[in-house]
Amino acid sequence: MTKIDLRLADGDVLLPGVGFRRVDVLVADGRVAAVTEPGAGPTATETIALGGLTVLPGACDVHLHLGHGSDISRPRQPSDADTETAAAAVGGVTSFIPYVMSTTPYAPLFDELKSITEEGARIDFGFHFVISTDEQLAELPRYITEFGVPTAKLFMNIRGDEGARLGLPGTDDGFLFRLLEVLKAHGGMLCPHPENIEVAWVLRDRVLDADPAGAGGLATWNATRPPFVEADAIRRATYFGRVVGAPVYTVHTSSAEALAAAVEQRHQGSRVTIETCTHYLTHDTTSAVGALAKVNPPLRDPADREALWEGIRNGDIDTVATDHIHRPVSSKDGGIWKAQPGFPGLDAFLPALFSEGHHRRGIPLERLADLVTANPADAMGLSPRKGRIMPGGDADFSILDMKSRWTVERSGLATDAGYSVYEGQEMTCRVVHTIVRGAFAVRDGKLNDGARGTGRFMPRRLT
């Protein structure tokens, strides 16, 4: 008889193919041992009475960036993983997949990358690699089959010297095509950053002439890289994906037009998984956050935001991620033209999504939960260990009080960026416990520092 380490008693538990049920979940050796009627089955070493709290599979945030200070390319010291996995745990996340950037091949970096991250990580993690050189392209089959890194990002917007800011060389559509061929041949998937930068450059010059002081704020930034610039690149990447026969995962889909382009290509036969990010659902160009919320693709008009919610309602959108970047707040100085793009989003991830989507808009919690659990786990090769509460799977749980009201404050954030676009906003649910392989990363709303260094790298294989 298996020794049961933990019983999660009396929660409303989301079970795959069933929905919410009042059951107990039994945990042994970091895995789900059984799901039982309340009180049934063997006694556990520890029992946590949940009193009707909502128990979801641990959330998987499959789009974010780790780094240090203004360098977002990769974790370079264990504290980079420590603070940002703490933010993840606070936001209900039990596993995540950061994008790692380098101009040199990843094979010589891989062991160090893994060990530095494991030393600090409080949750499990994988990696995506940004591919931008021929040397990396030559090594890509090893990344997929040997390292368990089957997902490759291409910045379609980095052409010519545009990449200097990120330290990346420019690529072109020929590179995109060859990258898709290698991914197809070895079982990988493309995650393109889709923006037609050549057109965006033209628009930027015009908008800069019209609004040199950036008085239009987020609307001005949106005008420099509007939805059609995004839709064009999504159409191109997913069309080439179909020609080559490789799957494409559209990261941070932000607009009605971009969503329509991806859906249209899906109907034509492209294998497309569609992601949007929390901030495109909670913010738009009329939000009063200013340059703090500058990001690429930009925050869009309110009508785009509504179109994304409709895409969630009707099932067109598959996943929601954060695109968390823990840039220091000083990088946001200087107004809309000077501020660096991107901001942190992990700390408030599930509360923001569920407050806005479930409480304000009435979308069933099961649907919203799938977007951050089973769907990303399936898309990114984390299943069957992650993404669903079922015997044999990892005992990862996001446990929420769906009736709690609280206001996001800077003092409560765990990210070392130290700010949030949600500051001052009232949330209508709260993460109470975050459990990773049976151990508490967050307990009763407080970080458990014993979790530091327990997160493990997860090699992935796409199905």
Q: Which residues bind Zn ion (CB under 5 A)?
A: 323
CB of 233 to Zn ion, least distance (A): 15
Which pair of structure tokens corresponds to residue 193? Answer: 């950053």
Q: Which two tokens stand for residue 437?
A: 């392989």
Least distance from Zn ion to the Cβ atom of residue 99, Å? 6
Q: Which is nearer to Zn ion, 193 or 452 (CB)?
A: 193
Please give the full DSSP string across 281-341, using - where no structure is assigned.
Answer: HH--TTSTTGGGG--SSPP--HHHHHHHHHHHHTT---EEE--EE---GGGG-SHHHHSPS
Cβ at position 147, least distance to Zn ion in Å? 20
DSSP-assigned beta bridge partners for residue 32: 27
Q: Which is nearer to Zn ion, 323 or 378 (CB)?
A: 323
Q: How far is the CB of 321 from Zn ion (least distance, A)?
A: 8
Whole-number minimum distance, CB 323 to Zn ion, in Å?
4
Q: Which is nearer to Zn ion, 279 or 433 (CB)?
A: 279
Q: Which is nearer to Zn ion, 5 or 323 (CB)?
A: 323
Of 81, 2, 57, the closest CA to residue 34 belongs to: 2
- Pick between residue 345 and residue 438 the one whose CB is nearest to Zn ion: 345
Question: Measured from the CB atom, is 323 or 356 closer to Zn ion?
Answer: 323
Cβ-contact 319, 371 below 8 angstroms: yes
Nearest CA-CA partner of 60 in 353, 382, 282, 439: 382
Name residue, tokens 């446990």.
399
Shortest distance in whole angstroms from residue 446 CB to Zn ion:
29
- Which conformational region is residue 47 in: left (phi greater than 0), alpha (psi within -120 to 50 degrees), or beta? beta
* Chain residue at closest Cβ approach to Zn ion: 323
Per-residue DSSP letter, 23: E
Instruction: Select 304 or 323, whichever has its Cβ closest to Zn ion.
Output: 323
Looking at beta carbons only, is 66 or 231 nearer to Zn ion? 66
Q: 295 or 350: whose CB is closer to Zn ion?
A: 295
Residues 6+ apart with CB under 8 A from 293: 218, 279, 283, 287, 299, 343, 421
Shortest reach from residue 64's CB to Zn ion, in Å: 7
Q: How far is the CB of 296 from Zn ion (least distance, A)?
A: 9
Cβ at position 174, least distance to Zn ion in Å: 24
Q: Among 40, 37, 114, 42, which Cα is nearest to 74's?
A: 114
Residue closer to Zn ion (CB basis): 301 or 323: 323
User: CB 186 → Zn ion: shortest distance, Å?
Assistant: 24
Measured between alpha carbons, how far is 228 from 111 in angstroms, rounded to an integer?
41
DSSP 34-94: EEESTT-SSPEEEEEE-TT-EEEEPEEEEEEE--BTTB-SS--SHHHHHHHHHHHHHTTEE
19: left (phi over 0), alpha (psi -120 to 50) or beta: left
